[in-house]
Amino acid sequence: MSRFEFVADHRGAFGMKRLCTVLNLSRSGFYRWLRTAPARAAKKAADAALTRRIRTVHTESGKTYGAKRITAELRAGGVMVNRKCIERLMCQHGIQGRRLKRRHRTTIPGPAAQAVPDLLRRNFTAPVPDRASVGDITYLPLAGGRFLYLATVIDVFSHRLLGWSMADHMRAELVTDALNAAIRTRGFIRQ
């Protein structure tokens, strides 16, 4: 309850002038508060309607959308709203979007690392099998924040997996094991 509401509720018993003096309010401020009551009620009703729409969009998104995306969805639906208004209402009603976790960067090249030439020139096609092979290393997250690393060798023509290797480290042996597995599959690896 605000001080103005207290004065409005008790002015019949104690007098408005005395209550304003005791509560350190100006009478003009109290009269302004009375005069703007209908506008405040309309704003409260509009906020309640907008909050219902925010909850609808938030629920339809699987409770993942934050203020920016909810604002974009409402604008796409023809509702002209301000993002700050959406943020205020979401905060007041405890509605939160889901935050993405920061991506874990596993490989950071050293400052003295030698640049490797792109022999395929980003052309990942081949006219015949075994003309070109590509490799990749990816990490597989495990429970407890640990990773397994998977190295693969793939034929560019057929997209067939020629060889793979998995380990809990990302050392050169991981790649050489994948290459050796590809050699066992095909008998050779064309350079």
Q: Which H, E and C letters describe 50-104, residue by residue?
A: HHHHHHHHHHHCCCCCCHHHHHHHHHHCCCCCCHHHHHHHHHHCCCCCCCCCCCC
Is residue 174 over pLDDT 80? yes
Give the whole-angstrom CA distance, residue 129 versus residue 160: 10
For 171, which DSSP code?
A: S
Token readout for 121 is 């020139």
Give the whole-angstrom CA distance, residue 72 versus residue 77: 9
Domain boundaries, the chain: 1-35, 39-100, 133-186
| First-last CA distance in the chain | 79
Mean pLDDT rounded to a whole number for the chain: 88
> Which tens digits make up the pLDDT trace of 39-75?
999 999 999 999 999 999 999 999 999 999 999 999 9
Which residues make Cβ contacts (< 8 Å) with residue 3, sequence separation at least 6? 23, 25
Token readout for 157 is 């023509």
Is residue 35 over pLDDT 90? yes
Give the whole-angstrom CA distance, residue 132 versus residue 119: 10
CB distance 4 to 31 below 8 Å: no
Instruction: Give 32's pLDDT tier (boundaries 50, 70, 90).
Output: very high
> Which tens digits make up the pLDDT trace of 115-133?
888 888 888 888 888 888 8
Lowest mean pLDDT among 24-28, 103-107, 134-138, 182-186: 103-107
